[in-house]
């Protein structure tokens, strides 16, 4: 089938950080993309030349109409609230915006006969894993509403697939960071909480200082350890997941990370080196809902999808983040 004859792919949340990188790679691979985003945390300019529909992923009538009108058989679902401390403070917002909206989206997909579904899940479903490392069969024990809201969505997806022809891949992300190396799109969210983004902002004076939340964890330097993955590597995992489904692959739930971690202080040291000047920091108490260590066991995603990391380099992650932050600073006049 020629690319021109293919039905488009619906990407919910495709104006956001991760969704926009995936949508860009899909278009570079010759796919037609329709982005559905309410622009509450996404950016119209991040959609570039893809078609944008402004609306809610949980709007059954809107989504069903899009799926039917375009003959869409593939959905990639990114739309969600993703800030752990906010989920602790306002849990019902997360169950409404993440879990209930996903239920409505899946209902529209079931009605329209969608065949392939790729879901943006999270390592937060594991909570505080023993030894800090997570396999796909590690116990699901989220310690915050964000992780629980995503786990509930995974359950709905699993049960719908068991009762229908839909097949899916749920990708459990670890700590996503970095930006498009060509500088076309990046992490643009104001008041972001992702460490690498915040470190880049502090380096350029867009924040007065970088807060280190928790210095008494049972880790080598007392700060939290995370598995940081470049957003372009993560985006490619979605294209690999789509290929897997199109080739008749079975439904899967897979970790996506690099399999090793860096502490908060190691990230700050690397950003300082890339920036070439000290970054002001302040030590704060631990944040609610933060595990001490969270690292992926990620052999399965490599075996099942044939995914291979290409940008497993903390300096590269920090450099692309800092380059994007400089672009934002210039464009926003900060």
Q: Which of 126, 146, 217, 262 is catalytic?
A: 146
Task: Please list the alpha-helical segments (H only) found in 208-290.
Answer: 231-246, 264-275
* Nearest alpha carbon to residue 78 among 152, 161, 20: 20
Q: Which residues contact 88 (CB under 8 A, 6 or more apart)?
A: 144, 145, 288, 289
Active site residue 258: no
* Nearest alpha carbon to residue 225 among 261, 177, 269: 261
The rounded distance, in Å, linking the Cα atoms of 256 and 259 is 9
Burial of 25 (0-12, 13-18, 19+ CB in 10 A): middle
Please report how the helices 264-275 and 314-332 are oriented relative to each other, as an axis angle in degrees rounded to 10. Answer: 60
Task: Please list the alpha-helical segments (H only) found in 164-230.
Answer: 195-203
Stretch (H or E) spanning 111? helix 101-112
Q: Provide the annotated active-site residues.
A: 146
């Amino acid at each position: 089938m020629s690319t021109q004859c293919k039905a488009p792919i619906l990407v919910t949340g495709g104006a956001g950080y991760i969704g926009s990188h995936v949508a860009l790679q899909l278009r570079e691979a010759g796919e037609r993309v329709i982005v559905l985003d309410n622009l509450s945390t996404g950016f119209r300019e991040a959609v570039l030349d893809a078609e944008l529909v402004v609306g809610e992923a949980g709007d059954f009538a809107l989504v069903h109409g899009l799926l039917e009108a375009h003959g869409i058989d593939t959905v990639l679902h990114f739309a969600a609230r993703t800030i752990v401390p906010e989920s602790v403070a306002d849990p019902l917002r997360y169950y409404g915006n993440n879990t209930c909206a996903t239920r409505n989206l899946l209902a529209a997909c079931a009605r329209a006969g969608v065949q392939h579904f790729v879901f943006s899940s999270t390592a937060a479903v594991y909570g505080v894993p023993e030894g800090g490392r997570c396999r796909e069969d590690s116990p699901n024990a989220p310690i915050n509403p964000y992780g629980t809201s995503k786990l509930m969505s995974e359950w709905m997806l699993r049960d719908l697939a068991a009762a229908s022809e839909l097949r899916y891949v749920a990708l459990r992300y670890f700590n996503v960071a970095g930006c498009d190396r060509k500088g076309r799109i990046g992490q643009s969210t104001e008041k972001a909480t992702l460490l690498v983004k915040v470190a880049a902002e502090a380096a350029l004076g867009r924040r007065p200082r970088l807060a280190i939340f928790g210095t008494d964890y049972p880790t080598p330097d007392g700060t939290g350890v995370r598995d940081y993955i470049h957003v372009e590597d993560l985006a490619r995992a979605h294209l690999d997941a789509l290929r897997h489904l199109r080739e008749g692959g079975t439904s899967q739930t897979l970790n996506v990370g690099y399999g090793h971690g860096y502490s908060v202080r190691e990230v700050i040291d690397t950003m300082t080196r890339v920036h070439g000047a000290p970054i002001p920091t302040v030590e704060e108490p631990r944040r609610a809902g933060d595990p001490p260590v969270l690292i992926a066991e990620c052999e399965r995603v490599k075996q099942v999808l044939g995914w291979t990391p290409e940008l497993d380099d903390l300096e590269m992650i920090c450099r692309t983040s800092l380059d994007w932050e400089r672009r934002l600073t210039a464009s926003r006049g900060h």
